[in-house]
Amino acid sequence: MSNTLPFLILLIVALSILRVVSLCAPYNPQFNLSLQNRTSISMSDFLDTNVLTVNLSYNLISNLSSDTFSRVILVKSLDLSYNSMTQLQGDLLSPFIQLVCLQIPYNRLEQLPEEFLKNKVALEELDLSHNNLNSIPVKFFHSNLWRLRVVNLSWNNLVVFHPWPLLLRISVDFDLSHNKISTTGNNLGETKFTNSYGSDITVNLQFNNFTQWNDSFYQDLFGVDENVAEKFIFLIPDLRNNNWTCDCNFYKRTSLMHKSFYLYAKTDNLKIKCYNPPHLRDKRVFYDVALNEFVCNLTSDQNCLIQDNPNMNLVYVDCRNRGLTSMPRSLPLPDGRKLSLNFHGNSIRSLDNVEYADKIESLNLSNNALQFIDGNALRRMNNVIKELDLRKNSLKYVPKEINVLPFEKTYVEDNHLSCDCNMTWMADWVNLAPGYRDKSVQCTDVNGNRHVIKEVTEHLLNCTNDTLIAVSVSLGVLLVIIIILVITAKRCPYETKVILYKIFRIHPRDKYIVDNTDHDMDNDAYISYDATDIHVQQWTREVLVRKLEGKKPFHKLFVPERNLGVGPEADLRAEAMEKSRRIIILLSAHYSRSSWCDFECNLAESMSENTGRVLYILYDNKAVQLSGREPWRSRMNERRVLSLDDKLFWSKLRYELPLKSTVKVENV
């Protein structure tokens, strides 16, 4: 493609030289009805049917019926200029088979018929200038108009430019100047116009209503990605003499142009000029304006100047001297932009952890009333911030997080910094800065003496005092004891606790919520077991109940078979469980065979405050096996599980039972 380019340029130059100036030179014989003050024309006015030129200019015609020209089919040139035409009949031109020139300028047309130029394959010049056209029908221009050379649509009211010239696929002069066009579109059903690449097309869009550049223009005009659009530089419409606003919308196009070799192409079309903002007026967009100058004012509520600068990838916020008492909560921020904030000369009291903190590249808070800095804000600024000005505020302390910024990029002078034991880190921070940075920043100690921060040490401030040492020594000893205890207890922590309880009655138990609640509980434990198994039943009655209820410390158990009252059994069981501080599930081989067991087991799982409340006793070997399988495995997960074979079984069981038995309450 790049090889053919020079050739194409030559071709274009050649074509423009060859272009014939007037295509509407009268063809004889003529029919001249010019300047006759006529208001209408009819078929019968044409006496000679062989005329090639019909001149109806300078009359008062406002309408022509469809059959007006049905007898003069050889006409090559039709001149209707300077009339009062307000509309055109769709088939007015259908008799003409070799129309070359059509002139209807200086009329009052507002619309055009959809297929007015159907079959006009010989048409070379079309002049519709000085009308009131506000749109062009989609099918008005079509690819059969392959000889069309000049299209004059200037001085109309068009508002959108669609790529009509590219549809023609030939060399054409398209004059759209002096309309009201402000944007482009593409309603032609064509998205790729690659055929137009070799064409010699000029499009005059001067003196229109364009103001804001939109990168989608390129897509609309050429149906190509804007990055390859430079290749079409010779097709670029002439967009000069529009009141262009040189703002951020121009940034992308201009920066692409600056990188493009075509920037130096010999075409005037690239010399479009800025109209706004005033300081850029008459500067050429692609040549005279620095990329940094393409900025947009974003809206703001504080009357601050908020300016988007795509070249710096920054949004500048200038809120100097605006009487602010706090930083704005949020700021408009285009995707990916960083912030440069100047809040100099306000009454802001704190540097808050604002929404946009992690986007701030520089922050100027000098001359405010700062007393507090949120360390989290500084932490969030960490990656991005490059400069922080906190001069002339009322700061006594700065949080240590300020370390994220080197001292040379941070200004804390002219504050009321305190020389305190918790700020001695600042000396290192200051000292790390390179030599050029003034390091004379000072602080004031409790006695009112001023010190240069970079020389402040803990010793200077008497921070290392005796109580501190005493405390650290005793802490150290305690730590050693704890470590020894921990190591001992770590081997068998649970057993250690159980033994502690057994011997010293010290109960270092984990606090179970159920024991803290004020519910009046009737029982210490509810025993859920398989009553159909005679061995289990016997063990429960003769061993478990006797041991726990008959020996100190006494506990009160609820054994359903013994304690259940009269009434609906399920409710009674559930109620009894609710009123028990512990649910002991005695798992035996056929536990789940009994429907009550399942009921109780499920209820126990769903009870509130059941951490530590539910515990399992594995009755026999079968139960041990069951405990390794589902559903028991999940149920026992994180529950205390005891086995009858356990050493210290009874101590462990008693350890797990509530400390304050319900029995005592009853005995009183």
Three-state SS at 513: helix
Task: Give the separation between CA 600 and CA 540, rounded to whole angstroms.
Answer: 17
Minimum Å gap between C-beta 41 and ligand NAG is 11
Minimum Å gap between C-beta 166 and ligand NAG is 17
Of 419 and 525, which CB lies nearer to ligand NAG in the complex structure? 419
Of 141 and 632, which CB lies nearer to ligand NAG in the complex structure? 141
Helix ranges restricted to H, 19-132: none
What order do you get walking across the sheet with 338-342 strand by strand? 296-298, 305-309, 314-318, 338-342, 360-364, 387-389, 410-411
Of 226 and 549, which CB lies nearer to ligand NAG in the complex structure? 226
Could you give the C-alpha distances from 368 to 286, 337, 342, 360, 500, in angstroms and in order? 42, 26, 11, 18, 63
Of 310 and 612, which CB lies nearer to ligand NAG in the complex structure? 310
Of 85 and 657, which CB lies nearer to ligand NAG in the complex structure? 85
Type of residue numbered 352 = D
What is the full DSSP assignment across 338-362? EEEEE-TTS---EE---TTGGGEEE
Task: Give the separation between CA 212 and CA 225, rounded to whole angstroms.
Answer: 20
Minimum Å gap between C-beta 118 and ligand NAG is 19
Tokens representing 431 are: 């000292």
Minimum Å gap between C-beta 178 and ligand NAG is 8
Minimum Å gap between C-beta 305 and ligand NAG is 5
Tokens representing 614 are: 């539910």
Helix ranges restricted to H, 608-661: 621-627, 632-636, 649-656
Minimum Å gap between C-beta 407 and ligand NAG is 13
Could you give the C-alpha distances from 362 to 92, 310, 327, 381, 413, in angstroms and in order? 69, 16, 14, 10, 17
Tokens 């221009």 map to which residue?
141
Type of residue numbered 231 = K
Of 6 and 336, which CB lies nearer to ligand NAG in the complex structure? 336
For residue 541, report the phi and psi dihedrals to the nearest 5 degrees: -65, -50
Binding region for ligand NAG (CB under 6 A):
24, 26, 32, 34-37, 53, 55, 57-58, 63, 65, 77, 79, 86-87, 105, 129-130, 150, 152, 154-155, 159, 173, 175, 180, 182, 207, 209, 211-212, 214, 216, 241-243, 247, 249, 275, 277, 295, 297, 305, 320, 342, 344, 364, 366, 387, 389, 397, 399, 411, 420, 422
Minimum Å gap between C-beta 151 and ligand NAG is 8
Tokens 């604002």 map to which residue?
354
Minimum Å gap between C-beta 388 and ligand NAG is 8
Of 461 and 499, which CB lies nearer to ligand NAG in the complex structure? 461
Minimum Å gap between C-beta 146 and ligand NAG is 19
Of 32 and 255, which CB lies nearer to ligand NAG in the complex structure? 32
Of 389 and 600, which CB lies nearer to ligand NAG in the complex structure? 389
DSSP label of 443: E
By residue count, the chain amounts to: 668
- The answer to whether the Cα torsion of 502, 508, 511, 516 is positive or negative is positive
Q: Which of 136, 90, 84, 146 is nearest to 117 (CA)?
A: 90
Of 135 and 241, which CB lies nearer to ligand NAG in the complex structure? 241
Tokens 């002049």 map to which residue?
127
DSSP label of 449: -
DSSP label of 262: G
Of 364 and 580, which CB lies nearer to ligand NAG in the complex structure? 364
Minimum Å gap between C-beta 109 and ligand NAG is 12
Of 257 and 319, which CB lies nearer to ligand NAG in the complex structure? 319
On whether the CB atoms of residues 90 and 64 are closer than 8 A, the answer is: no
Minimum Å gap between C-beta 602 and ligand NAG is 54
On whether the CB atoms of residues 216 and 176 are closer than 8 A, the answer is: no
Of 30 and 260, which CB lies nearer to ligand NAG in the complex structure? 30
Minimum Å gap between C-beta 171 and ligand NAG is 13
Distance between start and end Cα atoms, the chain: 106
Find residue 387's DSSP bridge partners: 362
SS3 content of the chain, % helix, strand, coil (to 5): 30, 15, 55
Minimum Å gap between C-beta 216 and ligand NAG is 4
Tokens 């909560």 map to which residue?
329
